[in-house]
A = this chain, B = another copy of it.
Amino acid sequence: MSMKLNSQQLSDLAIGAAFLGTGGGGNPYVGRLMAQQCLDEGLEIEIIDPSALDDDMLIIPTAMMGAPTVLVEKIPNGEEAIFSLKRLEKHLGRKAQATMPIEIGGINSTIPLVVGARLGLPIVDADGMGRAFPFLEMETFGVYGVSGSPMAVSNEYGDCAVIQAVDNRQMEWLSRAVAIRMGGCAYIAEYAMSGADVKRTAVPNTLSLAIRIGEVLRRARAAHENPIDALLTFLPSTLYRYGRTIFAGKIVDVLRETKNGFSVGRVRIDGFGPFSASMEIEIQNENLIARVNGEVKAIVPDLICIMNTETAEPITSEELRYGQRVTVVAVSVPEIMRTPEALEVFGPTCFGLSKPFVSIEHMG
């Protein structure tokens, strides 16, 4: 019920988490290097299955919050999330017995590995989004009743705010203001909860799934098979059940701004091969909705993953560039993320989209 990560698994995880992150979650390269450095120093990264948690253990998830566009220019020193976790421990008067990702995506799947390795804590193989989302209230933890507060948000200087908000949306609203003034990117500890709550509310086994996804892509590439086909063949054996290619083409326009602490914009892709016309994808840190000629082809919370057509590497939103040849894959999310309670917190309307959620399996 526990495994120690090696360098190969770290590389696979970075790729797989960037895929699941659906454009967001921050740059996976930076995060992989930070975790690799822990291994190089002889530290252990121990992943434990949520089923192995005692019900009364205290788990404190850790993460980066902010704009991915900022993260690539303002990289962490590695102590910030640890500092937030320790502040939250002090506030709670209790030590964490494990940490965990709040989202599976880019740097936010590896930040908890660094925290765990440095503090000697295991990292729970689960997360609170089953993908990446831009807002902190959009976690299955909160959907199913766990309070995000008290939460701690810190920067590289040692400034820290401990926020106790009346609900998780207020927590997001207030902490985002602090993160913006910390330079647009800060490090948090939040949704402190019991082992029982993790088992009840988390999306399980997403760290090991991300590793498997990275592995599938890597092995296919080595065997000169099509990695994207290999991935689509693999998905039905997972909680994510279903995926398909919804578009392929060349990026002809990227509009991206860092606004209110988020990376927002859209990307336009001109079709190749069987795909005519153009696909337009709207972004708020993550890819939210993909349309061709105004017709919705995939919509949040289902995954919309933009992958490099040649290498099958997922491209996070801050790395999108004119001229990239890309394949867009849509994937169905686990059922825990499609309940009415879940869609109320991170369905299309929560992003100001007027379209209803239609699952990718049923999308025309």
| Distance to closest chain B CB from A93 (angstroms) | 10
Q: Does A236 count as interface, using CB distance less than 8 angstroms?
A: no
Do A163 and B164 touch (CB < 8 A)? no
In the bound complex, residues from chain B placing their C-beta under 8 Å from that of A178 are 161, 174, 177-178
- Contacting B at CB under 8 A, from A145-174, are 157-166, 170, 173-174
Asked whether, in the complex, the Cβ of A159 is within 8 Å of the Cβ of B174, the reply is: yes
The verdict on A181 contacting chain B, using a C-beta distance below 8 Å, is yes
CB distance from A351 to the nearest CB of B (A): 20
A158 in complex: contacting residue of B161, B166, B177, CB < 8 Å: B166
Q: For the complex, count residues of A whose C-beta is within 8 A of B.
A: 21
Bound-state CA distance A149–B176 (Å) is 20
In the bound complex, residues from chain B placing their C-beta under 8 Å from that of A87 are 164
Contacts of A182 in B (CB 8 A): 174
Evaluate contact between A170 and B159: CB separation under 8 angstroms.
yes
Instruction: Report which of B159, B164, B181 forms a contact with A159, defined as CB distance below 8 A.
Output: B164
Bound-state CA distance A162–B182 (Å) is 15
Distance between A335 CB and nearest chain B CB, rounded to angstroms: 33
Report the minimum CB–CB distance from A182 to chain B (whole Å): 7
Quick one: CB contact mask for A161-205 with B, threshold 8 Å, 1 for yes? 111111000100110111011100000000000000000000000
Taken together as a complex, chains A and B put the C-alpha atoms of A87 and B181 apart, in Å, by 23
Chain B residue nearest to A175 in the complex (CB): B161
A162 contact set on B, CB distance < 8 A: 91, 161-164
Interface residues of A in 87-101 (CB under 8 A from B): 87, 91
Smallest CB separation, A284 vs chain B (Å): 18
Task: Please name all residues of chain B whose beta carbon is closer than 8 Å to the beta carbon of A176 when the two chains form the complex.
Answer: 181
Given contacts A178-B174, A181-B173, contact A161 B159 (CB under 8 A): no
Min Cβ gap A220→B in Å is 47
Check A161–B174 contact: CB distance below 8 A.
Answer: yes
Q: Smallest CB-CB separation from A162: which chain B residue?
A: B162
Q: Which B-chain residue is minimally distant from A163 (CB atoms)? A: B161
Whole-angstrom distance between the Cβ of A275 and the nearest chain B Cβ? 43
List A65-117 residues whose CB lies under 8 Å from chain B. 87, 91
Q: Which residues of B contact A181 (CB under 8 A)?
A: 173-174, 176-177
Listed by A's residue number, 13 A-B pairs whose Cβ atoms lie within 8 Å are A91-B162, A157-B166, A157-B170, A159-B164, A159-B165, A159-B166, A160-B165, A161-B161, A161-B174, A162-B162, A176-B181, A177-B177, A177-B178
Q: Considering the complex of A and B, which 10 residue pairs feature the smallest CB-CB distances, nearest first?
A: A177-B177, A162-B162, A177-B181, A159-B165, A161-B163, A161-B161, A160-B164, A157-B166, A159-B170, A158-B166
